[in-house]
């Protein structure tokens, strides 16, 4: 199985951080759910998240990085508060 590219992983991470489901992320990025799952798996591996693939643990870990905390990532179909 081919690993997801670093660029794709970042795109998936940003949308995951916004609270989108795998299906919503796949639709937004015009890719398959399997590509999204590979990206999430790679992110969990790189961030050393153990105990299975856990979206909550992943988002908590992502919150430690400035790219996710400086400003909320804009999702194109998201209405402004």
Give the CA count within 13 Å in the CB-facing half-sphere of 36. Answer: 20
Averaged confidence pLDDT in the chain: 80
Give tens-digit pLDDT for 44-64: 888 888 876 688 888 888 888
Give the pLDDT of residue 74.
55
The answer to whether 16 and 58 are in contact (CB under 8 A) is: yes
Structural domains in the chain plus CATH codes: 6-69 (1.10.10.10)
Helix (H) or strand (E) holding 41: helix 33-46
Residue 73 has pLDDT above 60, yes or no: no
Tokens 């400035």 identify what position? 66
Q: Categorize the per-residue pLDDT at 21 as very low, low, confident or very high, splitting at 50, 70 and 90.
A: very high
Whole-structure pTM value: 0.73
């Amino acid at each position: 199985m081919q690993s997801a590219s670093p660029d794709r992983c970042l795109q998936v991470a940003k949308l995951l951080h916004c609270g989108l489901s795998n299906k919503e992320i796949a639709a937004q990025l015009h890719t398959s759910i399997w590509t999204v799952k590979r990206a999430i798996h790679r992110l969990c591996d790189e961030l050393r998240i153990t105990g299975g693939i856990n979206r909550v643990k992943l988002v908590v870990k992502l919150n430690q990085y400035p790219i996710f905390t400086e400003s909320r990532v804009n999702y194109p179909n998201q209405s402004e508060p």
